[in-house]
Amino acid sequence: MHLTAQEQQQINELVAEVEAASGAQFIVAVIGKADAYPEIPWKAFALGTVSAALLVACVEFGLVSWPGLRAAVFGLIPVLAAGMVFALVTVFVPAVGRALLDRVRARAEVEQYARAVFLERGMFQTRHRVGVLVLISLFEREAVILADTGVRQHVTEGQIEAIVAQMAPLIRKGLVFGASRTALTTLAALLRGKLGRVAVADELSDTLVQERGS
């Protein structure tokens, strides 16, 4: 859905490699959108209606001359139509919708989605609590890394934030595989030799998780 078959296979193979090298258990998830964000079309609708209303006001006060427009602007039809067009654009053009996105809320929604995936996939059930989720949300262009307690003993929050920061420019360019590889290889390097064991059994599926999201 989000990556080519070759990229999916490469990520699956890379997950298996870093698990063998680090002893942690990884899942990579790529989702389309963490939330429906119903407020975005409404923001666009408001922006469109306000812009159209300003145009109407300018025409009425003679500030703008547009032949044939004066008769058409009487009533609400042009104003409402502009709002509807703006709202529809945010639905079908992700870049426009993203421009109206509250970044703080977006980050919170992606983190919440990641926690749900972590729980649904039973990543807390590994024998030594070494599950690590790397989740990328395409619409928000955000990444979240969640690590269980066995991994957090050896990797600081600052190190995780640094990895996410390295992934950010790749995600903005649409390089999902590159961002995933950056996260997996960096985490594996940080964990190498620290867990005191190499996993003898694959407790979590190595298969890339792809979901449409909300």
Q: What is the pTM of this model?
A: 0.80
Judged against a pLDDT cut of 60, whether residue 71 lies above it is answered with no
How far apart CA 196 and CA 24 sit, in angstroms, is 11
Considering the domain architecture, whether residues 111 and 184 belong to the same structural domain is answered as yes
Can you list the positions of beta strands (E) in 91-206? 131-137, 142-147
- Sheet arrangement for strand 209-213: 142-147, 131-137, 25-33, 209-213
- Per the CB < 8 A criterion, the answer to whether 197 and 128 are in contact is yes
The predicted pLDDT at position 203 comes to: 84
pLDDT, tens only, 17-57: 999 888 899 999 999 999 878 777 667 666 667 666 666 66
Which structural domain range is residue 24 located in? 5-35+102-213
pLDDT, position 159: 97
Co-location of 122 and 202 in the same domain: yes
Return all residues near 16 (Cβ < 8 A) that are at least 6 apart: 202, 206
Same domain, 119 and 191: yes
Task: Kindly tell me if the per-residue pLDDT of 175 is higher than 70.
Answer: yes
Tokens standing for 130?
A: 């070494």
Domain boundary among 82, 99, 116: 99
